[in-house]
Amino acid sequence: MVDYYILSLRNKSFSPAQCCLIEFEDVLVECCQGILIAPAYSDTQFVLKTFREKFVHVTKFELPKPTSPSNKQVLIIVALTVWDCKLLNYMPRNWRERFDIVVAYIFDAIYPKYNSVEKKKIANSRLAKSIRLLDYFFIPMTGSMQELAETFTIPIAMIPMAADVSKFGSNNHNRWIDVMGYGRQFPPHSQILENTYNERESNRTYYHTNHLSIEKINNFYEHRRLFWKLLNNSHITLAYDVLTTPSDRLFLSFVGQRWFECLAAGCMIIGRRPVCPEVNDLLNWEDATIEVPDDSNSLIPFVEDLLNDKERLQSVQNRNYLNALGRHDWRYRIADMLNHLGLKQPIPLQRSLASLQEKYETVKKSLNY
C-alpha cells in the first residue's frame, strides 16, 4: 500500500495561475486517495534599512501520521516555479527520512540560461540542496530540461500539462460567446476583435481579459467555475505561442495550460501554434490549432468565415473535445508519473481511467468517428 501526500501552496499564492495547480492537486487527491498538505502562511511587515518589505512565512506546517507503519510514503509537491521549492526549507526536521519517494511537478519550469558564475551560485544555494533531496522533477516542457538537470542533478521527465476533462469538458454546440481571449494574448489581434465585436451594433461577442489585471483570487473554486462556464460557451478561443507575445520571463516555446483547457471545453483554437518539438505529438490531429493570417486587416474576415462555417466549426469542436477526453486529462499524466516512479496505479485512478476510456468510446461512437 502507498500513502500519497500532496503539498500545496494554495494558502500562499492567490494568482489566477494557482487555480490551475489546485485543479491538478484535486485530481491527485481524488485518484491517489491523497492527503492534502497546505501550510498556513502569514504576512509580516518589517523595516529593512531604508525601505519596508513584506515577508511571507510559514506559520504552521504539520505532517499527517502514516495510515499504516508498513505503507510506502510518497510526497508530491505541486509548484508554479522551481523557486517555490523553497517550501522544503520549512518542512519538519528529518522530513526526508519520513518519505520513501518525493517528487515535484513544476508548471512554469522555464529556467533562465544563467552564466557560469550564476549557475555555480545557484547550484550551491540552499534551494539547490533542498531540491537534490527530491527523487524526481516532472516538468511540462522540453526546452528547459537540460538546464535544470545540469543545475540540480536529479532525474527529470517531461510530463505535459492537461486539464480535468472528466469534470469540466464539453462539446456542447449551443454557445453564446463567439470568441474568447482569456489571459495572455497578442494585443493587436485582441484590440481588433474588441473594437469590432464589442461595438453596440455588433451581434458578436468577444470576451477577453486584456482590459484588467487580476492580482488576487478571493475564491479559487468560484473563479474557476465562472472560467469554465465561459469557456464551455465559447465557439472560438485565442491561444498564442509565448514567443509571439514577448516577455522577459517566457522565452521558450511550450504547450501551455490554455491549450489543454480550450481543447477540453471543445473550442476551436486559433492564434499561433507553439514551435516546441513536443507540439507535434500533443496536437497532431486536423485543425487542432488554426493559424490566423499575418495581415491583421484579414483577421475579422477570417474569423467570420470560421464562425459561419458551422460544419467545420462543429467538427473541430468535436475533435478537440474527443482528443482531450482520450489523451489530455490529468489522470493520464498521473499514470505516466507513477510509471516513472515504478508505482502501481491506485484503484481510484484505475477506475477513473477506465471511466474516461468508456466515455471516450461512447462520444467517439456518437460522433461516428
In tens digits, the chain (369 residues) has pLDDT values of 999 999 999 999 999 999 999 999 999 999 999 999 998 887 654 444 444 444 456 666 778 889 888 899 999 999 999 999 988 888 888 899 999 999 999 999 988 777 778 878 888 888 889 899 999 999 999 999 998 998 899 999 999 999 999 999 999 999 999 999 998 899 999 999 999 999 999 999 999 998 988 889 999 999 999 999 999 999 999 999 999 886 667 788 999 999 999 999 999 999 999 999 999 999 999 999 999 998 999 999 999 999 999 999 999 999 999 999 999 999 999 999 999 999 999 999 999 999 999 999 999 999 988
193 lies in which domain range? 165-327
Instruction: Looking at the structure, tell me whether residues 110 and 242 fall in a common domain.
Output: no
Instruction: State pTM to two decimals.
Output: 0.93
CATH label of the domain that carries residue 288: 3.40.50.2000
Q: What is the pLDDT of residue 246?
A: 67
Note whether 12 and 152 are same-domain residues: yes
User: Could you tell me if residue 153 is inside a domain?
Assistant: yes
Measured from the Cβ of residue 115, the count of other Cβ atoms closer than 10 Å reads 9
Residue 249 lies in a domain: yes
Record the cell numbers describing residue 122, joined without a space: 545557484
Q: Which residues contact 132 (CB under 8 A, 6 or more apart)?
A: 152, 153, 154
Structural domain tally of the chain?
A: 2
- Do 212 and 292 belong to one domain? yes
The answer to the question of residue 294 being in a domain is yes
Any idea what the CATH number is for the domain that residue 29 is in?
3.40.50
Same domain, 98 and 171: no
Q: Pseudo-torsion of CA 277, 282, 287, 291, nearest 10°?
A: -40
Tell me how far apart the alpha carbons of residues 357 and 361 are, in angstroms, rounded to a whole number: 6
Q: Is residue 287, in this structure, part of any structural domain at all?
A: yes
Q: Using one digit for the tens of pLDDT, what is the confidence trace for 17-54?
A: 999 999 999 999 999 999 999 988 876 544 444 444 44
Q: 233 and 121 in one domain?
A: no
